[in-house]
Structures are given as C-alpha cells and as structure tokens.
Structure 1
Amino acid sequence: MNETNAPHPTRNELESFFHGTLAEPDRQRIEDHVGKCDTCCDVLRTIPHDPLIERIHAATSSIDDGLTPVGSATPVFQEEDAGTIPAALLDHPRYRIIRQLGQGGMGIVYQAEHKLMERPVALKVISSRLMKNELAVERFHQEVKAAAKLSHRNIVAAYDAEQAGEMHFLVMEYIDGISLDQLVARRKPLPVLHACNYVMQAAQGLQHAFERGTVHRDIKPHNLMKTTRGTIKILDFGLARFATQSEQSPDDPGLTADFTALGTPDYMAPEQARDSKRADIRADLYSLGCTLYFLLAGHAPFPEGTAFEKVLGHCERQPRPLSEIRNDIPPEVIAIVEKLMAKSPDDRFQTPAEVVEQLKPFGHPDSAYASDASATQPSIPNSLLSVPKLEPKIDRPTQRSKSKPRPKASPFTQWVQRHRLLIGGGGAILGAIVALMVLGDFGKDDLPTGSNGGSVQSPEQQPIPMPAASQNWVNLISQVDLPANTVAGNWEVTSEGELHVNEGPGARMMLPFLPPREYDLEVQFTRNSGSQSIALHFLDGDGNASFDIDGWSENLGGIQNIDGENIRTNPTRVDNVILQNGRRYTAEVRVRRDQVQAFLDGQLLTTYRGDGSNLTLLELWTLPEKSLGLGAYDSDTTFHQVRLRPVSN
C-alpha cells in the first residue's frame, strides 16, 4: 500500500468510519482514502471497539417483532411445524385446541378452551430454542410465577405454565381484539383522543407492574391489544426477561449474546441497547413514548434503515417532529412524547403514574380535545399528502355539497316536502295548516311555532317543526337528507330504507325536526361491530342532550350531560349496560315537561328529572345546531327504524 498525498481524515472521522456510523458519501470518501494510505490504516488499528456498536452489529432480531399471522410467507419460528397442531397438544387432557392464532420469535400461539371450565384461553408454546436446558425451564417457571402475580385490567392475565410432551407453554387470558400495530395499519394515524387514551391505559398497567418490581422490556404496538370493549391489554409480561436470560451462552455470557433479546429496535431505549439487564421502568416509558409517536404519526420514530441504524437513531438522533407530520396535535401532547423519548432516563417521567396524569386531559372522552376524534382522519399538512408512506387512508364523511347551490325552495315548499307522508295521511291539523297556506291566509305570524313560541326559520337554520295533534308514529328516516344532515361518519340509506354508518370515531347524524314539548323517540338498531356507545340525541325544552348506551368502554348508560357532568358522575349513571354485537335492540326516550325516561328493550333504564334547562351535549356528540340526532361511536351500526310520536305541545 502506498502513502497518499491527499489530506488525511481526522481521527474522529476515522473512528466513525471504523464503527460504521458515517453517512454514505463520507464513508465512501474515507474508504477510498484508507485503501491507499498506510498511515490511516495504522490509526484504525489503534481504535478500540465500541461495545454498543459491536452488539448492534451482532443483532439479528429482537425477542419478537410481533406475531406473524398464520400463512405468512416468511415464518420466523420453524422448530415446530407451524402448519399443524402438535399431537401432544391435540391430546392434552385439559385444553381443547381451536386454531392457531400466529407465530413469532418466542413461539406459536393457539386459541384454546379449558375443557372443564369452558373458558377461552390462549396457549403460547415456547420455542425449544429458549427451553434448551433445565436452567432455562426453571427460569421460565419463575418468570411465569412473577407474571401471575400481576392482576390488572390492562395486563393480559397469565393463568398457568404447562407441559405437553417436550413442549412448554404458557396459559394466558384470550383476547378478542386487535393489536395497535394492526389498528394503525388499518386506519393510519389515530385521533389524538384515541392515541392518548390507549397509551394512558397501557401506562396504568405499567404502573401496576412497577409497584410490584416488574419491568416489561419490550413495550411496542404489537404487544398492546385493544379488546372489542376498547380496553388495552399488555402482552408477554415476564417473557421478555426470560428470553433475555435464556439466550445467554455459558461460553459467551457477554454483550453479544445479550443483545439477541434486547427488545425491538423500533421502540428500544438507548440505555437498553447498552445493557438490557439494567433497564428499569423508565426504559419501558421510552418505549411507550415511541408507541405514542407511532399511533400519532402512523410510523415508528425511525422508520427507515436496518436494525443497526434504528438503534443508533434512538441513541444519537431525534425523530421527525410530530408537528411536521400533523397540525392537529396539541403542543402539550407533543411535549409529553418528547419527554417520554428523552435520551437520558433522568430527563423522562420517572413513573408510569406521572404519564397517566399528564395524558388525562387528552385521553378522556369528555376532555377539551375529544372533538379531535370526531374526524375520520387526523389533520395532515397538504405538503405531506404526496408522501405515500404518510398518506392516511381517507374515509371522508359525507359533507355538505360545495357545488353551485340549487335555487332554494320557499319555506312552505320545503316544509311540505319534508312532511309529505303526514300530508298524505290526512292528519286533521296538518290538513288545516295546508289549507290555510294554499288559500294565502297564513301570515308570517301564523307559522308553526317551536317550544319557545318563536317563528321557525328556514330548515337549514333550525329543525323542521313536528305537528303534535296526532298520536301516530312518524318515520324520521324517510325525511333524512344525507348531505345536509350528516355531521360526521360515512352514512347511507340502504335499499331497505334503513340508516347505516360504518365504524368510525364520533359518527353522528342530525334529524332536523323540532318536536313538540312532549314526545316519544324510538330507535331500533343493531351494532354490527365495535365496542363503543350508541346515542340518541334529544331535545328537552331549551336543553339538548343524549341518551348513551354502552358508553366509552365502561359499559355505562345514562344521560349526557347534566349540569356539565357526564354519566360517570351524574345521577342517571347505570353500570353494566352491555350491547351484544349482531343483536337488534329498541331504545326509547320519553320526553315530558318534568322528566325524561330512557328505555332499552322496554325496560326503564334511567330517569332524568328536570325541565331540560341544565342539559347539554357531550363534546364528542356536538351538533351544529340544536336537533334530534343519532350517534354511533367507533361502531358499525344499522338503524332499522327511527320514529317519533308527538304527545302534547
């Protein structure tokens, strides 16, 4: 090798080149120089190895990058036959195998049922790679015992550790739901309300574990499951530590072996990369911050590059600011993410309980930011919509038409069109009203009045009045104008004359009719999928409120809001109001001058006593104007019948 006359790189540049951390143009430049320079080669020989870099280079995978669905083209667990159920499991005396759910680096997961108790469970068969000696088996049982001591609604319960032949498996709570990485893959970035609520729930589970001296070490969207009831469950407590210990080689107990069970590069804390065994709860909080970033951005903090480059990103760089990705995230939420993802553990929140308190103003449905979840997609700057990996799947709600408006019909013409069914039925008072209008004897002061006695304005400004003369039920679905009455969500009128709305946050529809002072509103519906509330918006004097059924993952029923208090705290709260998807229900609100009664399937559920003056709509159900209406929160729902019966003026 010859000496070159070109300027030598600095020692810092040579160290970066040696450790593989240079950008590609600089790396190529120095590589060309070193290939011709004996002096620089001598310098390279004196540079000590960086343990962290060595471990990153040695990394091939983490504990588990999430379960690979059955049928994946590239299975990551091949020691047992992933395509068939092992005979030892098929013949197990206590568990009946139903189906294989997925597979990952830790093993294969099956849905099963306890034969005697008829309880659904999940069986995680641990990879034989991790159970290769008696010490590993002992560690596995120790970790399962530790995990079994955790009992919290936000942690998947570990029931038992079993053996079938030479296979060892963990018996866990079966979760009917979806992981958060799958949820984001389906919906792209989540509304601020949902993202904060899910992370807040996960932090509650982590606090429970922290108080019992347990650290997860692999928090990520794949390990957070959202149940059909909207509850977040943390998976695999104890297994992360078990895998870390089991991967240690007696011949090489050092850094390289330890890195194989370090965590997941996309969500790994910097200190965890340096020494996974010493990572404490603050490493879990860093991973939780990365998860919140993922839910809001639609991708991990460092989405590009190899595992090596991602780990270095967590150690040395800052991710793209959330404010550049979306313009609807409150600055306080961005600050929470940044503090969770601080490079130094001392600069982060120190306990999960602190995270819960910080997220409460943004993660509750009655928060000031609840309206964020009403949009079908987060607000993305136009400059980013051309970037394919950031472009959200757009499920736009039906909006008011912005095309050239048609000539507006007179108030009388619109009123007659809205009430053509009643006119055809020949109600006595309605007939008289029509006759007076036709004869031209109906002056401005004689227009139908609302409950406050004032004249009803154009139907685009106020709801259409309902005559209160007859006791007949009036079909309201036939009167709905989708473009004009849709507030949020994808609504349609089916060929059967039913209203249907797809699953989406805060879907709601106005029913633009001004009822008399006393009336009955009856709605027949089926929640086809989802886990959130169905709402009937009603008018009571000067008040506009909603009757909520199976509300906000807490199975609550009641009237929202009374003196500003929601159903969690007001007197109409009813617990354990649980809707079964696929079943048809009838809900009814009976509005009277001194009270409102709410019924479900003919049974009185709750009663509000008052004149309506202290009733308001919950923020997430807000309507553009006071009106009757329907709501379906994050639930695919069919409204088979919506009808109103006037009782008295």
Structure 2
Amino acid sequence: MNQRSSTHPTKEELESFFHGTLEETRRQLVEDHISKCDQCCDELRTIPHDGLIERIHAATSSIDDGQTPWASASTIAESEPADSIPAALLDHPRYRIIRRLGQGGMGVVYQAEHRLMERPVALKVINPRLVSNELAVERFHQEVKAAAKLSHRNIVAAYDAEQAGDLHFLVMEFIDGISLDQLVARRQPLPVLHACNYVLQAAQGLQHAHARGTVHRDIKPHNLMRTDRGTVKILDFGLARFATQTDHAADDPGLTADFTALGTPDYMAPEQARDSKRADIRADLYSLGCTLYFLLAGHAPFPNGTAFEKVLAHCERQPTSLGELRDDVPSDVIAIAERLMAKNPDDRFQTPAELVEALKPFGRPDSVAAHDQPTSDSGKTLVAMPMPQLQVSTESTATRTRTKVSNQATSTWVRRNRWPLFAVSGVLGVALGWYVLADRGEQPPALPEDNSLVGQPSETIPPATSTSDAEWIDLIARIDLSADVVAGNWTVTPTGELRVDHTPSARVMLPFTPPREYDFEVEFTRVEGDQSIALHFVDGDGIASFDIDGWGENLAGIQTIDQIDIRRNPTRIDNIQLINGRRYRAAVHVRRDHVDALFDGEKRTTYHGDGSDLSLLPLWSLPENTLGLGAYDSDTIFHSVRIRPISN
C-alpha cells in the first residue's frame, strides 16, 4: 500500500503520525484528514507498535521536570515561614534550618547551619516516594557513600546522610551562586569563552567521577552551579542513579526495571531513554554537549514539544546547527558540540578528559583562540575584525609581539617570585643604606625587632604620586546623590566615604568639569561581588572608562576604543583580580595625546590618541560627558575620589 492517492497521506506519513514523529506543520494536516477519512483510520490500525517508541513512552512517565534543584540564596526574597518547614528538621539537634532554597525532581533543598561547627550547608530532603521501603533506603545510603568519596573542586561535596523522623536527607556543601540555566535566563546566550570554560570545568569534575567508576545521569544547566568566583560545581552526584534504580520500584518493579529513564528530556542521551541501566559516562557527555548548546544558543537543542517528543527527537533528529544561530561560534566549537551530541556513543568523546583537551583552546582566557572571541555589549560574541592602528610606535608588528610576549613572561615570573624578591631587595637596601651611612660616620636606623618589613606583603597602598595633597580636589564632598546617581543605591557614610550596594551597572556622575590634562585617582574596597569597578574619565571630546577585574575574566583596560572593548583593544591587561575586603588605588592620567591607567601606583597600560575614538559601553552610559564611577553588581566602598588639574 505504498502507492496511495495524492489526496491521502502516504504510508510513511501515517506511520510517523502514529509514532508522534511527524513534523508539526504536516501533522496538523494529517490529523485533520484522518478525522474525516475512514480509509486512513483503518490503515492506522494496521501499523505495528515500535519497541523504542513504547520504551520512550514509559521513560517519559518518570522524567524529572528539569527545575533548578536550588536557587542562589541571593534570589530568595524572604526566608520560608517556619511553619512550612517540617517539624523534624526544625528540631534537628545538629542542623539549624535557615531557609528553603528550592525544589527539584528528587526533593526539597534547605539552607542550614551546623549548630556546633557553624558551617553553612545545604540539606536535600529526599522525596518520600524514593525512600518508601528498606531496600530503597539502603540504596540511598550506598549511593551517598559513593558520592562522598568524590573530592574535586568542580563537584559539590557530599558530607553526610541523615534521618529526621521519617525524612531522609543528604548534607551537602552550600553554594552561594547561580545555576547556569539562571545565568542564561539573566544574560541570554553566553560568550563563547564563558560557555566553553563552564563546560570545561564540568568535564573536569566528570573525569574525576569517571576515574572512580561513577556516572551522574542527569547533567543539565540546572545541576551546574557557578560560584561568585566563577567556579562551576556539579550537583547531585549519586542521587540520579539512586532515583533511577528506585523510582516506582514498589509500585511496578517489572516495568521500571526496564523502562525508567530518570533525567531531563531536554538533555537526555538516546541510550539513556532506551535503557538507563546501560548508560555510561558517554551519556553524561551527551548531556554536557546539550548543555554547551544551551549556553551558546540560549535554548535546549529541541526546545519545543512534549517530553515524549523531545526524547524522541534526541533519538532520531539533529538540532539546528549552532552555525545557523550565531555567526561568531568557531567551527571547531560547533564540531565539539556536534560530536558530544552524536546519537551513537562510540562517535562521541569517550572520556571527559578528551573533552577537556578539546575545549582548552576556547575555554581558557589565556589561550590564543579565546582571545579571538570578542563579544558585544549584549553578551554575544562578535565576528573578529581587523585591529585599528591605535599605536603611534614605528616598530614592526613582529617586534611588538615579541616584546609583549617577553614582557608578559617577565611579569609572570616577577609575580610568582615577588615575595622572595621583596626579601632580597629589602636586605640589599638595608646593606646599602648601612654602607652609605657608615661611610658618612652615621648610624643606620634600627630595623623592627620582628623584621616585619622584610619579605612581607604590604597591606597599605603605595604613596600617592602627588607632590602635595593640597593640589588634589576631593570629589565625594561635591556629590549630590539626588541629582548625580544614574543607577544603583549610593550612600555617603558618616566618615565621608562613598558606598554602593549590589546593582548591575551601578554608576554615579562626579560634578566637576575637568581641564584638558589631569590626574583622576580613586581608592576603593570591593566588599562583595566578582564584577568590575570602573573609573569614567573625559579625554577631550571623548569619554571612556578604566575597567578593573571585568567580564568575569579578571581583565582590566580602557573601554572602549573605536567601538572595541578591552578584550580586543591594545589596552587589555590580564590577571587583574580584586580580592574582596582589600583596599586598592586606581588612577588615570589624562594627557593631550595619551592616557595612562595605573593600578596600585603602577602604570599598567596606555591609550595613545586624542580621545576622539573613545566611548562608553551602554552599561556604563552617563547622561552627560563627565567624570563618574561604576560598580557592576559589586558592593563597593570608595574611600577617596579626587582629581588634580595639570593644565587647561
């Protein structure tokens, strides 16, 4: 019956319709036709059931809903009312419940504190249906023991398994961060560098688990948490396998032993849908490939349809290529994602370690490939473009490249050996001073008895470069908070310091018209957060910012030059990472033909030009071309903000 009238669907179309695999535009037409055609209805009754389809139908009956297992503490507006917390937990002798953080397919998560150790922890109370019999409880404890043996910076640590009344819960490391699905919801598709870096970190955690014979079975953006310092940690190791072996076992052991495929349909490997017991580390890699796709595309590989239709799509269809969705993703990264999502496990990376090596050129900020991935203000990576000729030097490109590499190597060596160098320099300095003074018949000053000045890191800021503090003009005293604040909650403390709380793109204008040449200096402490601090400065007709610890990549430099941000313009500085709670000094020295940017008294980079090609990113925009300050989602205190005129 392959040959049918053109007025009827073909047999192949009827089979696809019967199995739920017919594309949506054609499915509606076939459905309308069948509702009026007895002949096609009879044909449908003759189509045999497909074993795979039946197994997937059974699998989707126990699929997790994909909700985030817990939210960052910062996303919870109010603590959960005490009467909503189980009494057995409220009265627990070892743990004090602070708040409910969230709920996922396997249970409810609470933030708590160990009463004696005062250590913050997360308690995941296991869904009662998963521990409904003694065998299930024993499996739970076995899996927790296996998970507790995993110790890796990219895996959330499991501390203990406890019981409170009829409740069984897992005691885990508390992560105050954000899950990757929440991060994408907030920022939309991520820059290639960030996406590859997060997946690379997750792969490192998976490799550690793989070496110890452990498979996760539910890798997805919701189970990957990014800490405030940018570390990605995998949640729920051991729980997915425990739930796979246990779910519904008491109700129907014969069915679930073959068909349970606990997971999330958006990220489930085909073989996991067929038989979850045979899923190995390559199933986790498939899910990680779907996660990489999600981070770069802003949605899962198959975002539409029911859970059944999504699982079936993973078994039989190819997602839209990342190259069709974005024109800035390197072809090698697209190939990595496609290899991870291969239908046949043998065609994928065979271990997470192989994936780590493949992603290193694209997921490490210090790699050449990562530097070739500029991103726009919207967070999307831009197509590489020729660099503008901003430097006035006549030396060749090759010479500048060699010099830059040499300087970077020297700078790295100096940073690594700075304390021994300080010690040697201190001793040599004292010896030289002794010699000079002795030659003049004078005694050198005595060193402190504890030698605290030799070889110890200084907690003080280097002296200001001014010849007299009287030359500087205090700008904090001039601020009118009601008129000068552009975004964020800014306050002036009783001690005369300026403070801003956590707000994306917080900024304030400084009411002072600078001369053509001047020095602009700020002393500050970032109290909390991991994003950039910015000094907005005016250079002729242009305005720009000196950004410090920006883009989540510990970068610094001048934003932006000829519409190119610090990730691509010549003022880029790597490895500028602020330590919260420490005091720093930053400054810009604006001159007619260049601008020097200084950090802790040291000149770090220079812009050459008259300011005509300078501009602010939209996130730092000000109503007027004036001096200003910015702090991106970082609680920051500005101790001193001042300007010193040089010339008109």
TM-score (norm 1): 0.64
Query: What residue is the counterpart of 2:413 in the other structure?
Result: none
Query: What residue is the counterpart of 2:31 in the other structure?
Result: 28
The answer (yes or no) to whether the contact 1:470–1:646 under 8 Å persists in 2 is: no
- Residues 14, 204 of structure 1: CA spacing in aligned structure 2 closer, same or farther, 3 A cutoff? same
The answer (yes or no) to whether the contact 2:489–2:503 under 8 Å persists in 1 is: no
Measure, in 2, the Cα distance between the counterparts of 1:5 and 1:100: 61
Structure 1's unaligned 5+ residue stretches are: 71-80, 382-466, 481-489, 539-544, 600-606
1:22 Cα offset (Å)? 2.6
1:156 Cα offset (Å)? 0.5
The answer (yes or no) to whether the contact 2:515–2:645 under 8 Å persists in 1 is: no
Q: Determine whether 1:642 maps to 2:634.
A: no
1:262 Cα offset (Å)? 2.4
Residues paired across the two proteins, number: 500
1:110 Cα offset (Å)? 1.1
1:16 Cα offset (Å)? 2.8
Measure, in 2, the Cα distance between the counterparts of 1:98 and 1:502: 22
Query: What residue is the counterpart of 1:423 in the other structure?
Result: none
- Residues 15, 158 of structure 1: CA spacing in aligned structure 2 closer, same or farther, 3 A cutoff? same
Q: Determine whether 1:472 maps to 2:470.
A: yes
Any idea what the Cα deviations from partners look like across 1:83-120, whole Å, max 9, x if unmatched? 62222212211111111112222111111111111101
- Residues 268, 309 of structure 1: CA spacing in aligned structure 2 closer, same or farther, 3 A cutoff? same
1:329 Cα offset (Å)? 2.6
Q: Which amino acid aligns with 1:350?
A: Q
Query: What residue is the counterpart of 1:405 in the other structure?
Result: none
Measure, in 1, the Cα distance between the counterparts of 2:489 and 2:160: 50
1:55 Cα offset (Å)? 2.9
* Mean Cα deviation higher: 354-363 or 284-293: 354-363
Any idea what the Cα deviations from partners look like across 1:106-164, whole Å, max 9, x if unmatched? 11111111111110111111111001111111110110011001111111000001111
Query: What residue is the counterpart of 2:60 in the other structure?
Result: 59
Query: What residue is the counterpart of 2:172 in the other structure?
Result: 172
Structure 2's unaligned 5+ residue stretches are: 72-80, 383-464, 479-485, 538-544, 557-565, 590-596, 617-626
Query: What residue is the counterpart of 1:578 in the other structure?
Result: 579
Any idea what the Cα deviations from partners look like across 1:324-352, whole Å, max 9, x if unmatched? 33333333322222222222222222222
Query: What residue is the counterpart of 1:530 in the other structure?
Result: 529
- Residues 503, 301 of structure 1: CA spacing in aligned structure 2 closer, same or farther, 3 A cutoff? farther
Query: What residue is the counterpart of 1:311 in the other structure?
Result: 311
Within-5 A mapping of 1:189-268: 189-247=189-247, 249=249, 252-254=252-254, 259-268=259-268
Q: Determine whether 1:362 maps to 2:365.
A: no
Q: Which amino acid aligns with 1:474?
A: W
Any idea what the Cα deviations from partners look like across 1:527-583, whole Å, max 9, x if unmatched? 475324547899xxxxxx989679968999xxx99x999766xxxx99xx6304xxx
- Residues 372, 513 of structure 1: CA spacing in aligned structure 2 closer, same or farther, 3 A cutoff? farther
Any idea what the Cα deviations from partners look like across 1:345-400, whole Å, max 9, x if unmatched? 2222222222222322332334454585763314499xxxxxxxxxxxxxxxxxxx
Query: What residue is the counterpart of 2:97 in the other structure?
Result: 97
Measure, in 1, the Cα distance between the counterparts of 2:375 and 2:473: 27
Measure, in 2, the Cα distance between the counterparts of 1:241 and 1:197: 27
- Residues 358, 379 of structure 1: CA spacing in aligned structure 2 closer, same or farther, 3 A cutoff? same
1:209 Cα offset (Å)? 1.0
Measure, in 2, the Cα distance between the counterparts of 1:624 and 1:371: 22
Query: What residue is the counterpart of 1:436 in the other structure?
Result: none
TM-score (norm 2): 0.64
Q: Determine whether 1:288 maps to 2:288.
A: yes
1:49 Cα offset (Å)? 3.5
1:67 Cα offset (Å)? 4.0
Q: Determine whether 1:40 maps to 2:38.
A: no
Any idea what the Cα deviations from partners look like across 1:412-453, whole Å, max 9, x if unmatched? xxxxxxxxxxxxxxxxxxxxxxxxxxxxxxxxxxxxxxxxxx
- Residues 280, 83 of structure 1: CA spacing in aligned structure 2 closer, same or farther, 3 A cutoff? farther
Measure, in 2, the Cα distance between the counterparts of 1:644 and 1:175: 41
Measure, in 2, the Cα distance between the counterparts of 1:286 and 1:362: 19
- Residues 380, 61 of structure 1: CA spacing in aligned structure 2 closer, same or farther, 3 A cutoff? farther
Any idea what the Cα deviations from partners look like across 1:462-511, whole Å, max 9, x if unmatched? xxxxx988653535969x9xxxxxxxxx9799797979798669999999
The answer (yes or no) to whether the contact 2:488–2:500 under 8 Å persists in 1 is: yes
Q: Which amino acid aligns with 2:119?
A: R
Query: What residue is the counterpart of 1:338 in the other structure?
Result: 338
Q: Which amino acid aligns with 1:375?
A: S
Measure, in 2, the Cα distance between the counterparts of 1:29 and 1:345: 39
1:243 Cα offset (Å)? 0.1
The answer (yes or no) to whether the contact 1:150–1:208 under 8 Å persists in 2 is: yes
1:318 Cα offset (Å)? 1.8
The answer (yes or no) to whether the contact 1:121–1:174 under 8 Å persists in 2 is: yes
Measure, in 2, the Cα distance between the counterparts of 1:142 and 1:468: 66
Measure, in 2, the Cα distance between the counterparts of 1:468 and 1:578: 26
- Residues 195, 16 of structure 1: CA spacing in aligned structure 2 closer, same or farther, 3 A cutoff? same
1:248 Cα offset (Å)? 5.5
The answer (yes or no) to whether the contact 2:96–2:113 under 8 Å persists in 1 is: yes
- Residues 186, 547 of structure 1: CA spacing in aligned structure 2 closer, same or farther, 3 A cutoff? closer
SS of equivalent to 2:175: coil
The answer (yes or no) to whether the contact 1:161–1:169 under 8 Å persists in 2 is: yes
Q: Determine whether 1:16 maps to 2:16.
A: yes
* Mean Cα deviation higher: 57-66 or 503-512: 503-512
Query: What residue is the counterpart of 2:377 in the other structure?
Result: 376
1:14 Cα offset (Å)? 4.4
Query: What residue is the counterpart of 2:327 in the other structure?
Result: 327
